[in-house]
């Protein structure tokens, strides 16, 4: 919970939230192949998020305004697709187009990273974004993550930026 947002782990009732995000061409433009997902893939995406919570104790949160309006998602995953980022975990964010440019991604990410470290779920987090996605890079910068290096997306071959923070760095910021 922040002054403007509530965060809750994604659950089976959230198919429509995942579908609104993952079928939107603009929101998916810089994610993996850049191709929006079909509805059957969204079911798989939702199941993956629920499984992450079950297996790892962390995963995606749904981000809502305090009146319950869905704003997007924020949370954690295991970036097995990116060897340079492993063992991770990584933190990521999406805000529905209508709610962008209000500071919600940064606010939700700061709350969730604080929660992750306070809960003792790990001592390091990475952030990864397509180099051609400066809006996500700006969130990394606003959060105070440390830029690590550029790499190449192993499947898609476009350049990506890797950022990092550790529990002591986060506490000291
Ligand atoms: C990446 C993404 C989440 C960034 O969303 P965003 O809304 O721009 O990011 P923030 O929540 O940090 O908002 C910052 C903006 O809100 C503005 N803002 C307005 N009111 C604000 C407030 N009360 N507090 C803080 N910032 C505020 C800031 O000035 C800033 O605007 P600027 O970029 O014009 O300077 C969004 O572009 C997105 O969902 N993209 C598609 C999915 C994606 O690519 N995810 C990342 C994968 S790596």
Backbone angles phi, psi at 131, to 5 degrees: -55, -30
Dist. CA 81–CA 35, nearest whole Å:
17
Query: If you measure from the C-alpha of residue 137 to the centroid of ligand 1, how many angstroms do you get, rounded to a whole number?
Result: 10
Q: Confidence class of residue 163 from pLDDT cuts 50, 70 and 90?
A: very high
Mean pLDDT of 41-60: 98
User: Taking all residues of the chain, what is their mean pLDDT, rounded to a whole number?
Assistant: 97
Q: Confidence class of residue 8 from pLDDT cuts 50, 70 and 90?
A: very high
Mean pLDDT of 56-78: 98
Residue with tokens 């809750």: 8
pLDDT above 70 covers a percentage of the chain that reads 100
Q: Confidence class of residue 78 from pLDDT cuts 50, 70 and 90?
A: very high
* Helices 134-143, 104-118: crossing angle, 10 deg rounding: 50
| Pocket of ligand 1 from Cβ distances under 6 Å | 27, 30-31, 92-95, 100-106, 129, 133, 135-136, 138-139, 142
Mean pLDDT of 12-30: 98
Q: Confidence class of residue 160 from pLDDT cuts 50, 70 and 90?
A: very high
DSSP three-state, residue 34 = coil
* Residues 53, 7 contacting (CB under 8 angstroms): no
CATH number at residue 130: 3.40.630.30
Total structural domains within the chain: 1
Q: Note down the domain range covering 27.
A: 5-172
| Residue whose CA is at the smallest distance from ligand 1 atom 44 | 30
Residue with tokens 């990092």: 164
What's the pLDDT tens digit per position in 100-159? 999 999 999 999 999 999 999 999 999 999 999 999 999 999 999 999 999 999 999 999
Asked whether the whole model's pTM tops 0.85, one would answer yes
Backbone angles phi, psi at 8, to 5 degrees: -140, 145
Query: What end-to-end distance do the CA atoms of the chain give, in Å?
Result: 20
Backbone angles phi, psi at 75, to 5 degrees: 155, -160
* Residues 24, 127 contacting (CB under 8 angstroms): no
pLDDT reported for residue 114: 98
């Amino acid at each position: 919970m922040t002054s403007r947002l509530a965060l809750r782990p994604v659950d089976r009732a959230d198919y429509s939230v995942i579908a609104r995000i993952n079928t939107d061409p603009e929101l998916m433009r810089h994610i993996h192949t850049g191709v929006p997902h079909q509805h059957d893939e969204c079911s798989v995406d939702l199941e993956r998020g629920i499984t992450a919570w079950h297996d790892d104790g962390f995963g995606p949160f749904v981000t809502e305004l305090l009146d319950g309006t869905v704003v997007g998602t924020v949370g954690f995953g295991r970036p097995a697709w990116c060897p340079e980022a492993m063992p991770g975990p990584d933190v990521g964010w999406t805000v529905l187009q209508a709610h962008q440019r209000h500071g919600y991604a940064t606010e939700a990410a700061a709350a969730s990273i604080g929660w992750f470290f306070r809960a003792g779920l790990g001592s390091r987090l990475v952030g990864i974004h397509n180099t051609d996605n400066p809006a996500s890079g700006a969130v990394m910068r606003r959060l105070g993550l440390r830029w690590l290096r550029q790499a190449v997306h192993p499947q898609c071959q476009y350049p990506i930026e890797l950022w990092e923070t550790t529990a002591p760095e986060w506490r000291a910021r």
